Amino acid sequence: MRIHPFFSYNGFQGSEADWTSFISSGIEQAPEWEQPFLLFIREWLNDNTELEVQTSGSTGAAKAWKVPKLAMVNSATLTANYFNCKEETTALLCLPGNFIAGKMMLVRAMTFGWSLKVIKPSTTPLAEIEEPFDFAAFTPMQVASLNDRMLGLLSRFGVGILGGAAVSEMLRKRLSEFCNNLYETYGMAETLSHIAVRKITLEETPFHALDGIVLSVDEVGRLRIHAPHIQADVIQTNDVVELFGKSSFFYKGRYDRMINSGGVKLFAEVIERKLESMIHVPFAIGAVHDEMLGQRVVLYLEANSNIDKERLRDSMKLTLDRFEVPKEIRFLDKLERTESGKIKIIR
C-alpha cells in the first residue's frame, strides 16, 4: 500500500524506499512501546493486500483476524472527511500500537499525508506536550487524568476524539466546561475504529453515524451496522441501543450484560455510569442467580472490607432506580482486566 508523500513520523519524511530503510535501521533500537508502530508501517508497505488486527478482549478472549488494507483506508477516509483533516494535518498519536485505535491513527496519517507526532502511551499524554495539534485520539482514562493546564492545551486542539470506553457522566460534564472540540466515538475492532460520533456537550446527545453507514436493530434491540466500505456482510453487535431513523442512536448497554431481575431488564453499564461519581475505587456491576428474581444485581468492589456496606447502599438508593440498587456487595482483591486495561465483564 502506498504512503502519502507528505506523511511524516516524528519529523521523518521520505519516499517508500526511504521508509523501508528507516524502519530496517531503527526497529531494533526503538523502545518496546514504539516497535508495533514501525512493524505496522513495514507491513503496510509490503505487497500483501491484508494484515492482521485483534480485539482488546474486553468482552471475551482476544481474537485476531485478517482485514483488507483497502477497508482500513476507507475507514480512514470517513474520519478524515468528517473532521476535514486532509494533507499536512498535525496529529498526536498517544495510543498503544497493538490495537486497532493506534493502527488506524497511522493509517489516517499515511493515507492523507499527516504530520504525526508519536509518543509513549501513558495516562498523562499531555504532560510534556506544549503545542496544540489539529487532530488527536485518546481514551477516556487518558483525558480524565489531565489537570487544568493540560485541559487548557487540549481546548486549543482542532479536534480530539475519545474512544475505547464510554465517557462517564462526570467526565463529560468536566470536559464540556473546558473544551468545545471533543467527540466521543462508537466503534470496535470489527468496524476498524469508529462508525459513529457525538460531540461532548453538557447535555448528552445521540451518536450520529458517519457518511455511508446505515444502522438497524434486531428483534431484541441490538445494533446492526451496514458498512459496505468495511465488509459486504452486516456487522451484528451485542450492543442494545435506542435507534432514531437509520443513523442516530443512544447506547444503552451490552446485551450480555443485561440483568433480568424479577422481570425488569437492567443494564450493568447504565448502573455503573450512575455510580461513577460516588464510588472512588475500581468497581463493576454483575449478577448472580436468584431463586425468586432469576438474577440479582451485585456490586463488586476492588477494595478491602472496611467500606461500610450499609452506608454505601443508602447512598446508592439516592442515585439509582429501585430495581438497580445492588442486592449484594462483594469485595475482591483485584478485578480482572484485559491487556489494554479494561475491567473484564463479570457474568
Q: Give per-residue pLDDT as tens, 326-344.
A: 999 999 999 888 776 778 7
pTM of this prediction? 0.86
The pLDDT of residue 26 is 86
Q: How confident is the model at residue 4 (pLDDT cuts 50, 70, 90)?
A: very high
Residue 331 φ/ψ region, left for φ over 0, alpha for ψ in the -120 to 50 degree band, beta for the rest: beta
| More reliable by pLDDT, 346 or 128 | 128
**101 burial level (CB within 10 Å; 0-12, 13-18, 19+):** buried
The pLDDT of residue 197 is 98
Q: Give per-residue pLDDT as tens, 178-211.
A: 899 999 999 988 899 999 999 999 888 999 999 9
The pLDDT of residue 55 is 62
Average pLDDT over residues 80-104: 95
Average pLDDT, the chain: 91
Largest CA distance in the chain: 69
- The answer to whether 90 touches 65, Cβ cutoff 8 Å, is no
Q: How confident is the model at residue 61 (pLDDT cuts 50, 70, 90)?
A: low
Q: How many degrees, rounded to 5, is the angle at CA 13 between CA 162 and CA 52?
A: 50
CA 228, CA 326: separation in Å to the nearest integer?
42
Average pLDDT over residues 101-128: 96
Which CATH code for domain 8-210? Answer: 3.40.50.12780
Q: How confident is the model at residue 59 (pLDDT cuts 50, 70, 90)?
A: very low
The CATH class that applies to domain 262-332 reads alpha beta
Q: Give per-residue pLDDT as tens, 238-290.
A: 999 999 999 999 999 999 899 999 999 999 999 998 998 889 899 999 999 99
The pLDDT of residue 285 is 94
Query: For cell 448528552, what's the residue?
Result: 204
Residue 310 CB coordination number (10 Å)? 8
The pLDDT of residue 109 is 98
Long-range CB pairs of 195-198 (<8 Å, 24+ gap) are 195/78, 195/225, 195/227, 196/249, 197/82, 197/161
Q: How confident is the model at residue 28 (pLDDT cuts 50, 70, 90)?
A: confident
60 pLDDT above the threshold of 60: no
57 pLDDT above the threshold of 80: no
Domain spans, the chain: 8-210, 262-332
The pLDDT of residue 277 is 84
- The answer to whether 53 touches 102, Cβ cutoff 8 Å, is no
Contacts of residue 319, Cβ cutoff 8 Å, sequence gap at least 6: 274, 275, 278
Q: How confident is the model at residue 170 (pLDDT cuts 50, 70, 90)?
A: confident
